[in-house]
Structure 1
Amino acid sequence: MAFTFGTARAIVESSFMPLSCRCSHESSSARIRIYDAATGEPHLVVAGISIHRLNTSHEIRKLVGELRYELEFCALQLNRIPRPLLKKGPVSLQGL
């Protein structure tokens, strides 16, 4: 089953709570920004993601896993986010 960008965006944006996440796109590439909603401080910004990569649940889960890995790596390097906030869990596709 192929997902629309709006559905993929909703899944990705809800996968990083309690941090906030915003996805946007222009043409055929997406930009994902994960940040602290209280301060607006960005924790990870990734641009140039192919929208075609967000077509299936497998690809969306894979992207979320990669973003979580990058977020944890950056957090550990910069000592910014407490590890419990980076808990790993399944990417929920229910309700979509």
Structure 2
Amino acid sequence: MNLSPLEIQSIIERSFLPSVCTCSMAPDQSLTIRVCDCMTGQVDLIATHVPLWKLDTVHGIATLVAEMRQQIESHKGAQPPIYH
């Protein structure tokens, strides 16, 4: 499957609704993904240096989202974790 970087970003951002999720692309073709609580604006998680090539399949994206959701749930109320 050949998803464009914009499609990958859109899928990830929608996967965290109703939370606010933003993805930004680094020059090295990695993503920084930031997930914030939609009501408080508190940062729930920041994932850095996520290789774009690992997200070129639905399975790759689903795995990343599941891991990030698990990290968010395990750290509720604490400082936002940084996921690598």
Shared fold, TM over 0.5: yes
Give the 3-state SS of the residue equivalent to 1:11 in structure 2.
Answer: helix
- Residue 9 of structure 2 corresponds to which residue in structure 1? 9
| TM-score (norm: length of structure 1) | 0.73
Name the counterpart of 1:56: 57
* Residues matched between the structures, number: 77
Runs of 4+ with deviation above 3 angstroms: none
- Look up the SS of the partner of 1:45 in the other structure: strand
Distance 1:38 1:66 in 2: 22
Unaligned runs of 5+ in 2: 79-84
Please state how far the C-alpha of 1:25 moved relative to its aligned partner: 0.9
Q: CA RMSD in A?
A: 1.4
Higher percent of residues as strand: 2
Distance in 2 of aligned mates of 1:15 and 1:74: 19
- Once the 2 structures are TM-superposed, how far is the Cα of residue 29 of structure 1 from its aligned partner? 1.1
Look at both structures and tell me which one has the larger radius of gyration over its CA atoms.
1
Gaps of 5+ in 1: 80-96
Aligned residue for 1:14, secondary structure, equals helix
Q: CA deviation at 1:38?
A: 4.0
Cα distance in 2 between the residues matched to 1:30 and 1:38: 24
